[in-house]
């Protein structure tokens, strides 16, 4: 199935529905306001009650579903999209998850519970988290949601909705599922159980564990989730970050890969955008303007919430669009009756009473213009950069000073950046599964739907199977920059590994120096290039340059006048 395209490139907004009464007149008023202010659609997200004494209808009941169908119908009438979060809060879970379908750890059922969910008083524990490593459990969860909402019949009457999955927020410690032991033994030839209680003291075995965990995350969750979204009449819009998986393979398996900022740096969107280019996905979305000046746990508010500066939001948006995003999703708009005061604790407030209200229309028009241009043709890239997945799985936690509310482990890739020396070539990430299917002919590496002139590899650890693919492609003529001598990770021993490395390095088109490998100068040259994205459509190149200050954006953004002027703009 080709991913349905959003009606336009106009931004969406997440629409927080807090547990409580939802009225048709308020639904219509808010959707009309969204249309009038340049939004292209909404994503309904069901959350905790703001008043613990007034709860909404039971989750997945007919009384809960009816206002949702009303909202979808009104949105279609107004030519707005209407997506749905698959469930309430995050990750997937709730009291509708039976014990047999709940998340597991090596020591038994996971103690993680869903928080901030519909119908659960704020501060109280919700139901169990879903087992994301069991596709049958995932199917039962998704079909229960779809049946309650009346999908795909609803989708047929309105339009295919995006069914949204937030970032992987399942606790990673000792994740387990039925059959894991047997699959592991079959794959690696030994029993992982003796190592599980102190896995961090056994990095070799921990690597093997993560390899199998990554395969299950892809095969039992992301791939089935996309198929289930199609079965329900919609498409999969998914944030795959945080998952213990090959982030590129996970993003490539869904219809709309979604990044986020600025709990994540803007250039983190390179992962979603790279996967989209490799898999031929036309749209890359991003949850934008989250916790701009810092994170504060629920109930918040975060620092300077509702005091966000428009120029800061533009820097974030520019950074996202210059790293491959072409659909902005504001985070977000709370359901409110006229004059209502409901707010979400970790978001830039969207609504008529927002201090930014006069700016939504013009700013959304700007986002629409850029994102429209950044959907034409296909993504341009000249060099593929091998994702250091093996390095990430051999490593463990990030240094404490680099950890933040959205990241703890190296494999989450929040501190993994494309090499600055390659910036003018507009590099993209690539991983082993894509190289396995790649070919080199007529001076081009044909890798999925993307094309490259050469490959850059800077890793300490490299699986033998990936090494074989590098050698195969290099023998066909692909220029390869091997920045370091790689080693085999994990417990598997290969007698011919060094011979394969020597064969690769002996080729004339393989070198440790970029200048010895790159077949031509970069598209853009300069000592301090701004972030940029490029699309090629026939003979036309379209380049979007971000404001130069986007390169230094990190969480949290400082609050105050823009550094480029030293004063508030008029």
| Confidence grade of residue 568 (pLDDT, cut at 50, 70, 90) | very low
Average pLDDT over residues 512-524: 96
- Hey, what are 550's tokens? 């986007």
Question: How far apart (Å, rounded) are the C-alpha atoms in residues 64 and 56?
Answer: 7
DSSP per-residue string spanning 387-445? --HHHHHH--BPPGGG-BTTB-BGGG-TT----GGGGGG--EEE-HHHHHT-EEETTEE
Average pLDDT over residues 343-365: 96
| Confidence grade of residue 569 (pLDDT, cut at 50, 70, 90) | very low
**For residue range 2-54, what is the model confidence (pLDDT) as tens digits?**
445 677 999 999 999 999 999 999 999 999 999 999 999 999 999 999 988 89
Average pLDDT over residues 529-557: 95
- Hey, what are 61's tokens? 């009941």
**For residue range 97-135, what is the model confidence (pLDDT) as tens digits?**
999 999 999 999 999 999 999 999 988 889 999 999 999
Question: How far apart (Å, rounded) are the C-alpha atoms in residues 504 and 475?
Answer: 8
> What is the per-residue pLDDT for 6?
75
Looking at the predicted structure, is the pLDDT value of residue 564 above 90?
no
Per-chain mean pLDDT for the chain: 95
| Alpha-helix residue ranges (DSSP H) falling in 110-179 | 135-149, 153-157
Average pLDDT over residues 491-506: 97
Q: Are residues 290 and 260 in contact, defined by beta-carbon separation less than 8 angstroms?
A: yes
Average pLDDT over residues 64-83: 97
Q: Is the peptide bond before 301 cis (omega within 30 degrees of 0)?
A: yes
Residue of 325, 379, 281, 377 lying closest to 3 (CA atoms): 281
Q: Are residues 463 and 432 in contact, defined by beta-carbon separation less than 8 angstroms?
A: yes
Average pLDDT over residues 307-324: 97
DSSP per-residue string spanning 253-283? TSSEEEEEESSS-GGGHHHHHHHHHHHT---
**For residue range 467-478, what is the model confidence (pLDDT) as tens digits?**
999 999 999 999
Using CA atoms, how far residue 564 sits from 309, 310, 377, 489, 548, in Å, is 14, 14, 34, 46, 10
**For residue range 237-256, what is the model confidence (pLDDT) as tens digits?**
999 999 999 999 999 999 99
Please indicate, yes or no, whether the overall pTM of this predicted structure exceeds 0.85.
Answer: yes
Q: Are residues 138 and 225 in contact, defined by beta-carbon separation less than 8 angstroms?
A: yes
Question: How far apart (Å, rounded) are the C-alpha atoms in residues 236 and 272?
Answer: 14
Eight-class DSSP state of 321: H
- Hey, what are 219's tokens? 């095969």
Using CA atoms, how far residue 40 sits from 7, 8, 11, 197, 367, in Å, is 7, 7, 5, 49, 11
Average pLDDT over residues 327-354: 94
Looking at the predicted structure, is the pLDDT value of residue 275 above 70?
yes
Packed helices 203-216 and 180-188: angle between N→C axes, nearest 10 degrees: 120
- HSE-CB at 457 with a 13 A cutoff on CA atoms is 30
Contacts of 332 (CB under 8 A, 6+ apart): 13, 14, 15, 16, 43, 45, 344, 347, 348, 350
Question: How far apart (Å, rounded) are the C-alpha atoms in residues 281 and 2?
Answer: 8
Identify the H or E element spanning 109: strand 108-109
């Amino acid at each position: 199935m080709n991913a349905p395209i959003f009606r336009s490139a106009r931004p969406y907004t997440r629409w927080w529905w807090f547990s409580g009464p939802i009225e048709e007149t308020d639904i219509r008023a808010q959707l009309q306001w969204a249309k009038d202010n340049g939004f292209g659609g909404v994503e309904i997200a069901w959350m905790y009650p703001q008043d613990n004494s007034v709860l909404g209808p039971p989750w997945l009941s007919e009384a809960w579903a009816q206002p949702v169908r009303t909202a979808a119908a009104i949105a279609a009438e107004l030519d707005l999209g209407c997506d749905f979060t698959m469930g309430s809060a995050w990750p997937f879970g709730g009291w509708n998850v039976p014990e047999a379908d709940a998340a597991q750890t090596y020591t038994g059922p996971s103690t993680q519970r869903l928080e901030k969910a519909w119908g659960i008083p704020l501060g109280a524990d919700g139901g169990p988290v879903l087992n994301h490593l069991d596709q049958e459990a995932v199917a039962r969860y998704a079909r229960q949601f779809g049946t309650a909402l009346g999908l795909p019949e609803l989708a047929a009457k309105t339009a295919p909705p995006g069914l949204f999955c937030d970032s992987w927020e399942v606790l990673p410690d000792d994740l387990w599922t039925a059959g894991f032991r047997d699959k592991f033994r079959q794959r690696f030839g030994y029993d992982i159980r003796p190592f599980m209680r102190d896995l961090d003291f056994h990095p070799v075995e921990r690597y093997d564990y993560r390899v199998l965990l990554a395969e299950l995350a892809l095969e039992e969750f992301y791939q089935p989730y996309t198929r289930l979204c199609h079965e329900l009449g919609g498409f999969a819009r998914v944030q795959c970050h945080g998952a213990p998986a090959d982030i590129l393979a996970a993003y490539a398996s869904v219809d709309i890969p979604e990044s986020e900022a600025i709990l994540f740096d803007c250039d983190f969107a390179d992962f979603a955008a790279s996967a989209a280019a490799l898999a031929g996905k036309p749209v890359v979305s991003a949850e934008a303007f989250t916790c701009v000046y810092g994170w504060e746990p629920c109930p918040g508010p975060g620092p300077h919430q509702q005091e966000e500066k428009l120029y800061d939001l533009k820097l974030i948006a520019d950074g996202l669009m210059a790293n491959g995003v072409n659909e902005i999703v504001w985070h977000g708009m709370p359901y409110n009756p006229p004059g209502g005061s409901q707010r979400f604790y970790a978001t830039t407030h969207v609504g008529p009473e927002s201090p930014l209200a006069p700016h939504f229309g013009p700013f959304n028009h700007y986002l629409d213009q850029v994102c429209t241009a950044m959907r034409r043709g296909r993504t341009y890239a000249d060099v593929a950069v091998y994702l250091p997945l093996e390095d990430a799985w051999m490593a463990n936690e990030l240094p404490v000073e680099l950890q933040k509310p959205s990241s703890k482990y190296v494999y989450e890739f929040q501190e993994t950046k494309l090499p600055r020396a390659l910036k003018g070539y507009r590099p993209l990430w690539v991983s082993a599964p894509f190289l396995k299917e790649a070919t080199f002919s007529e001076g081009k590496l044909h890798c999925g739907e993307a094309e490259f002139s050469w490959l850059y590899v800077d890793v300490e650890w490299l699986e033998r199977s990936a090494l074989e693919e590098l050698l195969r492609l290099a023998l066909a003529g692909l220029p390869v920059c091997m920045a370091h001598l790689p080693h085999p990770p994990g417990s598997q021993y290969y007698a011919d590994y060094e011979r394969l490395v020597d064969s690769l390095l002996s080729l004339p088109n393989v070198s440790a120096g970029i200048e010895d490998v790159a077949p031509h100068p970069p598209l853009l040259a300069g000592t301090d290039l701004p972030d940029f994205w490029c699309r090629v459509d026939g003979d036309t190149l379209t380049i979007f340059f971000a404001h130069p200050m986007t390169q230094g954006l990190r969480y949290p953004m400082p609050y105050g006048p823009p550094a480029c002027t030293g004063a508030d703009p008029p």
